[in-house]
């Protein structure tokens, strides 16, 4: 169990450090040219690389909503849900702390939103709470369907990491302007605690909507799409 938890900690750390780090350290400088397209790709690459690195140890969740979705779909035991959530959140916060140390290592830095998620005034496009909630729920649900489908026994072997990484990239391309893209409560928590915009007060939505979306995606997969042996 310790190896599995260590893998989840490191995988979530890498996701937050790589994805949010690209936003905080690179996208903040227009002359580097990565923009939100580069940030979207960075998030996808973090998942793709860690799925292949440690997915065989822990399952490669790196996200409380994914862990819940897999449990609802019967691919993961509810008994291990809380330990996975704890190390995922700790991994996210540890990544946020390291990123904060690096980001504040230059003069005149303004931490601001620190790649955190938000609605209303904290949404990049000023989207409402309802719009952000719908986006996060729907995108997380589809993310879970893709994960379950890509890792099913009937799927081509060895390509799951690519499909999952590209799915997360697409999700970010859609929703960075809406919510700055969460679909992952650990990712949201890891940077919100260091933001200077009051993002912590909005964290409840970025736990509730992704978790509901994860459960919804699992139900859709299990009862509409899954092979017969997974429906029992």
Residue 87 · residue 142 · CB < 8 Å? no
Bigger pLDDT: 105 vs 14 = 14
pLDDT at 153 over 90: no
With the CA atoms of 185, 188, 194 and 197 taken in that order, what torsion angle do they form, in degrees rounded to the nearest 10?
-120
Task: Collect contacts of 151-160 with beta carbons under 8 A, ≥24 apart.
Answer: 151/75, 152/226, 152/227, 152/230, 153/227, 153/229, 154/227, 160/51, 160/55
Above pLDDT 70, what percent of the chain?
96
> SS3 for 140?
helix
Q: What letter does residue 171 receive in the DSSP assignment?
A: H
pLDDT reported for residue 232 = 59
Return the closest-CA partner of residue 43 out of 189, 160, 164, 190: 164
pLDDT reported for residue 26 = 83
Please state, in angstroms and rounded to a whole number, the distance separating the CA atoms of residues 24 and 116: 10
Q: CA separation (Å) from 39 to 1, 22, 32, 170?
A: 32, 6, 12, 11
pLDDT reported for residue 124 = 95
Domains along the sequence of the chain with CATH: 2-230 (1.20.1080.10)
Tokens of 169: 């990239």
Residue 88 · residue 62 · CB < 8 Å? yes
Residue 99 · residue 20 · CB < 8 Å? yes
pLDDT reported for residue 195 = 95
pLDDT reported for residue 106 = 83
pLDDT reported for residue 32 = 66
Please state, in angstroms and rounded to a whole number, the distance separating the CA atoms of residues 11 and 32: 26
Number of Cα atoms under 13 Å in the Cβ half of residue 94: 15
| Lowest-confidence pick of 57-66, 142-151, 155-164, 202-211 | 155-164
Mean pLDDT of 136-164: 93
pLDDT reported for residue 158 = 84
Mean pLDDT of 16-31: 86
Sign of the four-CA dihedral 224, 48, 194, 23? negative
Confidence of residue 31 (pLDDT cuts 50, 70, 90): low
> SS3 for 152?
coil
Please state, in angstroms and rounded to a whole number, the distance separating the CA atoms of residues 27 and 20: 10
Bigger pLDDT: 66 vs 232 = 66
Confidence of residue 36 (pLDDT cuts 50, 70, 90): confident
pLDDT reported for residue 231 = 62
């Amino acid at each position: 169990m310790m190896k599995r938890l260590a893998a989840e900690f490191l995988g979530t750390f890498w996701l937050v450090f790589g994805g949010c780090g690209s936003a905080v350290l690179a996208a903040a400088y227009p002359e580097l040219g990565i923009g939100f397209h580069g940030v979207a790709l960075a998030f996808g690459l973090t998942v793709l690389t860690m799925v292949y690195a440690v997915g065989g140890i822990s399952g490669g969740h790196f996200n409380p909503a994914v862990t819940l979705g897999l449990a609802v779909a019967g691919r993961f035991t509810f008994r291990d849900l809380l330990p996975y959530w704890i190390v995922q959140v700790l991994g996210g916060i540890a990544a946020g702390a390291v990123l904060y140390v690096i980001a504040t290592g230059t003069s005149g830095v303004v931490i601001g939103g620190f790649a955190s998620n938000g609605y209303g005034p904290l949404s990049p496009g000023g989207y409402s709470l309802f719009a952000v909630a719908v986006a996060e729920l729907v995108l997380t649900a589809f993310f879970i369907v893709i994960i379950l489908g890509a890792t099913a026994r009937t799927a081509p072997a060895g390509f799951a990491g690519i499909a999952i990484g590209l799915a997360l990239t697409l999700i970010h391309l859609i929703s960075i302007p809406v919510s700055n893209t969460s679909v992952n409560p650990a990712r949201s928590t890891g940077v919100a605690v260091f933001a200077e915009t009051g993002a912590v007060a909005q964290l409840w939505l970025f736990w509730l909507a992704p978790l509901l979306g994860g459960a919804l995606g699992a139900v859709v997969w299990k009862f509409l799409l899954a092979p017969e042996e997974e429906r029992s």
